[in-house]
Amino acid sequence: MTTTTVGKRVQDFLSTPQQLFINNDYVPAKSGKTFTTLNPATGEVLATVAEGDAEDIDIAVQAARKAFSDGPWATMSPSDRGRIMWKIGDLISEHLEEFAELETLDNGKPLSVALAADVPLAAELFRYMAGWATKIEGNTIGLSVPFLPDAQFHAYTLREPIGVVGQIIPWNFPLLMAAWKLGPALATGNTVVLKPAEQTPLAALFLAEIMAQAGLPPGVVNVVNGLGETAGAALASHPGVDKIAFTGSTEVGRLIAKGATGNLKKVSLELGGKSPNIVFADADIDAAVAGSAQAIFFNQGQCCVAGSRLYVEDDIFDEVVAGVAEIAKSMKIGDGLDSRTDLGPLVSDEQLRRVSGFVDSGREQGAEIVTGGHRDGDRGYFFQPTVISHTRPDMKVVEEEIFGPVVVVAAFKDLADAARLANDSPYGLGSGIWTKDISKAHKLAKQIRAGTVYVNCYNVFDAAMPFGGYKESGWGREMGHQALDSYTEVKSVCVRL
């Protein structure tokens, strides 16, 4: 048997109309509105979900404020907070199959990927951040106040939670993005209103139940599904929200930053990318070819860090491009529940049209489609893995984030040329380098203006390794202890002795 049959728990979950999650309770949207989420492999309705808007966001923000100010969360010891978070991680692991099935059905990704990557990484994130709950520390500071030469002081810093945090997440890794956001917020004692993407509203609701089961008190995490322009915008501009954290497109990131200006809430943004992946002639060619294909085709290319600009040193250009194209052609496109599937559907019809539109623009501007370039089949939102050559730097396919399984390739002549090409983008999220020369690798790693540089690997994520963008790819970092900085305020306490 090659196609997984979805388990009873997930079937029951899908057949129950899903509501908002506020104060550890499932409640309908005040307007009574609902929307449907589709299975991108078939285009059929998967589930019905309550559609929250500004009014529901307001109720959720009030719940989060109450939980922050006077619930058990406010007085809980860091150790107890960490224990609940560890338990959330363990419960995610216990429900591995169910989460993976939901991710595959809602997002389209191969079940094997959800089982091996999305769900275990989310569980690990909670466990990693659980450890930090007891390690949020300030410093003592020796003062030398020049106008009080004889005075003595005891000065120190406290690191305190920011308060009520709004979090808006995308659809490419629904559970994992929720975990990346919730982990540092909870470890530092904040409370949260989470708005998942309207294309993939299910994982966060499933997670909400598990978080309550793990002992998270009411109001600490509230999940309000709804549209970006209504629920999302209301959260970003809400005067009762102290910080907004967003992952998504650079375009929407700008709107979030603007929306935040009213009460000048803190903002962190993890945005788009057009990441360069650079293959030198002295690389292990087989590894570089396989790695470059994985860099772009993983998660159907719907990865903000995808290696979507492939630069290959002159001497091996034809060989590498042919190798990546060969892998693209051999990939099995299909329903994520089919164990033979390498590449699932794109998330939505809109995304399919967006990706097709980019490839068409490349064609019209004179680029060569080496392989792929078309929708696959006429049911669901499948798009062929695509390699585009003979591009110019000013083409849309080279400049803009496509967010699909589409890579543009170009040749370079030496390290300086590679560095120039790599940095020739307003984005700065990720990058890849393939070479056996460690000196060259480290030199170039320093020159690339991006938040992550992968050397002889790509798409490696770890809860301990910070992730985020230079330039227009964002503000702040996800994961690692760096993520904690953007969820704490620093208070200086200055005591004259």
118 binds ligand ADP (CB under 6 A): no
Angle between helices 96-107 and 174-187 (to 10 degrees): 120
Min separation Cβ 237 and ligand ADP, Å: 9
Catalytic status, residue 489: no
Number of residues that bind ligand ADP (CB under 6 A): 16
414 binds ligand ADP (CB under 6 A): no
The helix/strand/coil state of 133 is helix
Among 229, 314, 368, 414, binds ligand ADP (CB under 6 A): 229
Q: Which span (159-167, 168-176, 186-194, 483-491) binds ligand ADP, by CB under 6 A?
A: 168-176
Q: Which span (57-65, 133-141, 164-172, 288-296) binds ligand ADP, by CB under 6 A?
A: 164-172
Residue with smaller CB distance to ligand ADP, 134 or 249: 249
Min separation Cβ 231 and ligand ADP, Å: 7
Catalytic status, residue 457: no
Nearest by Cα to 192 from 211, 206, 175, 210: 211
249 binds ligand ADP (CB under 6 A): yes
Q: Which span (67-75, 244-252, 356-364, 374-382) binds ligand ADP, by CB under 6 A?
A: 244-252
DSSP track, 277-304: EEE-TTS-HHHHHHHHHHHHHGGGG--T
176 binds ligand ADP (CB under 6 A): no
d(CA 317, CA 312): 5
The residues, any chain, with a CB within 8 Å of residue 121's CB and separated by 6 or more, are 176, 179, 461, 463
Among 10, 168, 409, 415, binds ligand ADP (CB under 6 A): 168
Q: Which residues of 121-160 are buried (b: 16+ CB within 10 A; e: fewer)?
A: bbbbbbbbbbebbeebeeeeeeeeeeeeeeeeeeeeeebe
Min separation Cβ 208 and ligand ADP, Å: 16
183 binds ligand ADP (CB under 6 A): no
267 binds ligand ADP (CB under 6 A): no
CB 101 within 8 A of CB 6: yes
Min separation Cβ 199 and ligand ADP, Å: 7
248 binds ligand ADP (CB under 6 A): yes
Residue with smaller CB distance to ligand ADP, 304 or 479: 304
Active-site residue (options: 98, 103, 304, 478): 304
Write the secondary structure of 158-176 as one string of H (helix), E (strand) and C (coil).
EEEECCEEEEECCCCCHHH
The β-bridge partners of 141 are: 155
Residue with smaller CB distance to ligand ADP, 249 or 294: 249
Residue with smaller CB distance to ligand ADP, 21 or 317: 21
The residues, any chain, with a CB within 8 Å of residue 11's CB and separated by 6 or more, are none
CB 471 within 8 A of CB 493: no
CB 84 within 8 A of CB 215: yes
Active-site residue (options: 98, 124, 270, 472): 270
20 binds ligand ADP (CB under 6 A): no
Element (H, E) at 474: strand 474-475
Interaction pattern, residues 198-227, with ligand ADP; x per rule: CB under 6 A:
x-----------------------------
Among 82, 184, 228, 451, binds ligand ADP (CB under 6 A): 228
d(CA 304, CA 335): 22
Residue with smaller CB distance to ligand ADP, 112 or 249: 249
d(CA 64, CA 57): 10
d(CA 483, CA 187): 10
Q: What DSSP designation does 320 have?
A: H
232 binds ligand ADP (CB under 6 A): yes
Active site amino acids: 270, 304
Binding residues (CB under 6 A) for ligand ADP: these are: 168-170, 195, 197-198, 228-229, 232-233, 236, 248-249, 252, 255-256
